[in-house]
């Protein structure tokens, strides 16, 4: 597994890559980075090309003043694939990355082989109070106080704070603490605020793909959730599973918001089995037009 930097549209994009073969694209969640996939990349790369970018505004990628909408992230993912010489991929998205993955399939249906949603956003209103608070007016003035150097350097203190908000599973506390601490950087914090306010309001998620999930009928779809996800409830995955015909749902017992960290071996087994048992989607704009027209009154 190697880390690389590429310049797209004048902005540096950091990504990890490994292996060869059909492409698996891994998209992290908010405040995360490609580092969150390190535990599963080696197994996935045995027979696949694995690409895991840091989204703009995250990790070691650039944090410009710009568009942090789901559509912009999806376009950036498309451009990264093209720049690297790839036309299609099995797209795996965690949390915010799930919303980006669905948007990618919506905007570029001809480029998606399979869709894998891991504790995904965009499938219901419910979301943790922590993220809803970040969408409130004035959050940009409060965050600098919460991520002051003394607190940012004390991961245990941050983890304790998040634990009091209900994030009990160990991986949830550890990873959210690390992501929360990253907001000490002004540019990262600004990108975070712009991203949150594009998808979340004080009363829950603003963006929902539920009314368009019928368009995924021709895309092999896997949903993976933690049984005790405190950020986005597992019922969202169950509801999406009922809507997307032929989809597969895997709920990891005892896991929280990061099932791929809770049990990386099971996660890779499930994902590779799903890929082996399904054919890549053959969806294009003509087929999307048929699906939409069939639902038009």
Q: Which amino acids are annotated catalytic?
A: 95, 229, 257
Cα separation, 182 vs 35, whole angstroms: 13
Whole-number Å distance between alpha carbons of 72 and 235: 28
* Alpha helix positions (H), the chain: 41-44, 70-83, 96-107, 129-134, 139-146, 149-152, 155-164, 170-181, 186-199, 235-243, 259-262, 264-277, 285-294
| CA dihedral for 81, 287, 223, 192, sign (positive or negative) | positive
Rounded to an integer, what is the distance from CA 182 to the centroid of its chain? 17
CB proximity list for 56: less than 8 A, separation 6 or greater: 11, 13, 62, 63, 64, 66, 68, 72, 73, 76, 191
CA distances from 85 to 55, 79, 80, 88, 117 (A): 19, 10, 9, 10, 24
Any residues with CB less than 8 A from the CB of 202 and at least 6 apart, and which?
A: 132, 135, 136
| CA–CA distance, 224 with 255 (Å, rounded to integer) | 11
Instruction: Count Cα atoms within 13 angstroms, Cβ side, for 91.
Output: 30
**Token pair for residue 177?**
């603490």
Locate 114 and state its tokens. Answer: 């399979």
- Classify 62 as helix, strand or coil: coil
Q: Rounded to an integer, what distance in angstroms lies between the CA atom of residue 258 and that of residue 152? A: 22
């Amino acid at each position: 597994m190697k880390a690389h930097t590429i310049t797209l549209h004048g902005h540096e994009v950091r990504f990890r890559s490994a292996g060869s073969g059909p492409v698996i694209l891994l998209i992290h969640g908010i405040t995360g980075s490609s580092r969150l996939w390190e535990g599963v990349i080696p197994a996935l790369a045995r027979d696949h090309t694995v690409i895991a970018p840091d989204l703009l505004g995250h990790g070691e990628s650039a944090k410009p003043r710009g568009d942090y909408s789901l559509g912009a992230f999806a376009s950036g993912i498309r451009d990264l694939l093209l720049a690297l010489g790839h036309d299609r991929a099995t797209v795996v998205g965690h949390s915010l990355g799930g919303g980006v993955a669905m948007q990618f399939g919506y905007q570029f249906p001809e480029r998606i082989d399979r869709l894998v949603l891991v504790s995904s956003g965009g499938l219901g209103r419910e979301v943790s109070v922590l993220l809803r608070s970040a969408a409130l007016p004035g959050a940009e003035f409060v965050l600098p106080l919460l991520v002051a150097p003394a607190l940012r350097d004390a991961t245990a203190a941050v983890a304790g704070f998040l634990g009091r908000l209900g994030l009990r599973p160990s991986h949830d506390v550890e990873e959210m603490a690390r992501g929360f601490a990253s907001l000490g950087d002004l540019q990262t914090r600004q990108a975070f605020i712009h991203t949150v306010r594009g998808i979340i309001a004080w009363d829950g998620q603003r963006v929902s793909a539920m009314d368009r999930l019928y368009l995924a009928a021709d895309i092999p779809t896997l949903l993976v959730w933690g049984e005790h996800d405190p950020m986005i409830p597992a019922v969202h995955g169950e509801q999406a599973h009922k809507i997307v015909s032929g989809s597969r749902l895997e709920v990891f017992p005892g896991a929280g918001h990061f099932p791929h960290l809770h049990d990386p071996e099971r996660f890779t087994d499930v994902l590779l089995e799903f890929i082996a048992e399904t054919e890549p989607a053959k969806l294009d704009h003509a087929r999307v037009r048929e699906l939409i027209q069939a639902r038009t009154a």
